[in-house]
Amino acid sequence: MELLMASAIGVLTAGGMYLVLRLRSFPVILGVSLLSYAVNLFLFSSGRLVVNMPPILTDDATGYTDPLPQALVLTAIVISFGMSAVVVMLALGAYLSSRTDEIDMDDPDPVPEAEPGAIE
């Protein structure tokens, strides 16, 4: 079970990093979402991966599952959904205003080079 979770976290992290490094805005948003899913799985797996155990210790239970990582992941899912909606709306607004979703890394107003021998 731990190997499966570690592999899933690794694949989500690798895919998220690949998409974050793209030069378009929507793949970057998907990459950030994949990274947040990887963090959620990591938080969830930090509470010991056990099967068929109650989240609260009772008198007849032999063990329990830590409920704190489950609560943290639930909160993180809600927050990441809200932030993803805000970022998608910002990216959509930028796309509608410029008709492209490319991230321009060039200087939009470069300083012209002086000609050789010219006096500045």
Tens digit of pLDDT at every position of the chain (120 positions): 889 989 999 999 999 999 999 888 889 999 999 999 999 999 888 877 777 777 777 777 777 777 788 888 899 999 999 999 999 998 888 888 888 877 766 666 666 666 666 565
How much is the pTM? Answer: 0.73
Beta strands in the chain (DSSP E): none
Task: Residue 65: count other Cβ atoms within 10 Å of its Cβ.
Answer: 18
Domain boundaries along the sequence of the chain: 2-51+65-98
71-74 long-range Cβ contacts below 8 angstroms, 24+ apart:
72/43, 73/40, 73/43, 73/44
Q: Which long-range contacts (CB under 8 A, 24 or more apart) does 74-78 make?
A: 76/36, 76/39, 76/40, 76/43, 77/40
